[in-house]
Amino acid sequence: MIYHETSHGLSNRLVGGGTTGCLGGVQSAGMGEGWSDFMAASFLDDPVIGAYVTGNAVTGIRRASMADSPFTYANIKDRSMTEKHDAGEVWAAALWDVRTALGKAITEQLVVAGMKLTPCNPTMLQARDAILQADANSNAGANRCAIFAAFAGRQMGVDAASHTHNSTTDIVTSTAIPADCPTPATGKTRVFTSTHVPRAIPDNDPAGVRTGILVRRPGLDVQKVLVSVDITHTYRGDLVIQLIAPNGETATLSDRAGGSADNFIAVDLDVSSSFTPGSSASGGWKLFVRDTAIQDTGTINSFSLAITSTN
C-alpha cells in the first residue's frame, strides 16, 4: 500500500507531460489507481494488494488478485467497474498479463516509459498504445504481438475503441490481435498435488524444510503456474516461503511478511512471472519453507500446482 501511494507521484508527474492534472476521468483515474497497484505488486512480486492489512492473501483489499482477475474492458463498458479503484483493477490486471508474458524487468520499464508517452486525459487504449510505442522505441517492437495478446485478453484488442477517458457504454471491446501476429496457444492445465505432507517446519533453522512434486510427464513447458499452499504457523512473519522450479528458477511467496498473524494460506496464487515462459515444467518442483526466528513453529499441510502447458 505504501508503494501504491508513492506510485501515484510517478504517474501524475509522467502522464500528460507532468501537469499532475491528467488522471481525473473514469478510465484515466482508474489507470492512476491501476498503475499504482501494478507498480507496487510488481516491485514486491505479489499480485495481491493489501494482504497484510486484511490478513487475506487471496484478494487483499481488492475484488481479486490481479494475477487471477476476471475483469475486462467490458466491465468499464457496462459500468459495473467505473469507481476509480474498481476501474483500476481492470488496468492492473491487463498490465500483470503483460508482465506474465514478458517478465518483470522489461514490463516495468515499458510501463514507466509508456507513461511518458501517454497524453493527458487518456483512455486505456491510448495508454495501451503508449506501451506499444515504448516497446517500438526501445526494442524495435519485438514484444508487440505479446503485448497486444495480453490486452486483447482483457478485451482491449486491436479493434477496441473509446471516444474519451470518460467513455463507458459507447466503448467498443475487442479480443482481436493484429493479423500478422500468431494466434496465442490456448494450452492445457494439469493439477499436481504433493503427497509428501504434512511436514513439520523446524524452528529457527536456516536449512528449513522442503516438500516436493515430481511432474513425471515429459515434454511439458511452462506457460502459467498457480500454486496453492496451506501452512499453519503461530507467527507468519518468521517464514520465508519459496517455490523452486526444476531449472532452479524461484518464486518467493512470502518473505517474512504478515507480522504476528497466524498461518499462510494461498489458493491458486499466480507466480507465472517468476518462471521463463516455455521452460521445462517436467521434473521436480520444491516448496521450501524456512523459519527465521525462535519460539513459534508450524507445519506444511498441503501443496499443489496447476501448470498450464502448450502441449
Report which of 41, 62, 32 is spatially closest to residue 127, judged by C-alpha positions: 32
Cell (9 digits) for 304: 499443489
- 83 is an active site residue: no
With respect to CATH, is domain 2-152 assigned 1.10.390.10?
A: yes
Contact 218, 282 (CB under 8 A): yes
Locate the DSSP E strands across the chain: 188-193, 199-201, 205-215, 224-233, 239-244, 250-255, 264-270, 283-291, 298-309
Contact 99, 34 (CB under 8 A): no
SS3 61: coil
Distance, in Å, from the CA atom of 64 to the CA atom of 68, rounded to the nearest integer, reads 7
HSE, CB side, 13 Å, CA atoms: give it for residue 124: 42
Enumerate the CATH 1.10.390.10 domain ranges in the chain, comma separated: 2-152
From the candidates 5, 33, 83, 249, give the one annotated as an active-site residue. 5
With respect to CATH, is domain 188-309 assigned 2.60.120.260?
A: yes
Cα 220–Cα 101–Cα 46 angle in degrees, nearest 5: 100
**What per-residue confidence (pLDDT) applies to 185?**
61
123-136: b (≥16 Cβ within 10 Å) or e: bbbbbbbbbbbbbe
Report which of 107, 144, 153 is spatially closest to residue 273, judged by C-alpha positions: 107
Grouped pLDDT means (10 residues each) for the chain, 311 residues = 95 93 97 98 92 86 89 96 97 95 94 98 98 97 95 95 98 95 80 93 94 91 94 94 96 91 91 91 96 93 94 70
pLDDT one-digit tens code per residue, 259-282: 888 999 999 898 998 999 889 999
Report which of 289, 225, 230 is spatially closest to residue 256, judged by C-alpha positions: 289
**What per-residue confidence (pLDDT) applies to 93?**
95
Rounded to the nearest integer, the mean pLDDT of the chain is 94
**What per-residue confidence (pLDDT) applies to 168?**
98
Report which of 199, 193, 269, 271 is spatially closest to residue 233, judged by C-alpha positions: 199
Report which of 12, 212, 272, 231 is spatially closest to residue 116, judged by C-alpha positions: 12
168-198: b (≥16 Cβ within 10 Å) or e: beebebbbebeeebeebeeeeeeebebeeee
Report which of 201, 223, 231 is spatially closest to residue 57, judged by C-alpha positions: 231
Enumerate the CATH 2.60.120.260 domain ranges in the chain, comma separated: 188-309
Considering the entire predicted model, what is its pTM? 0.66
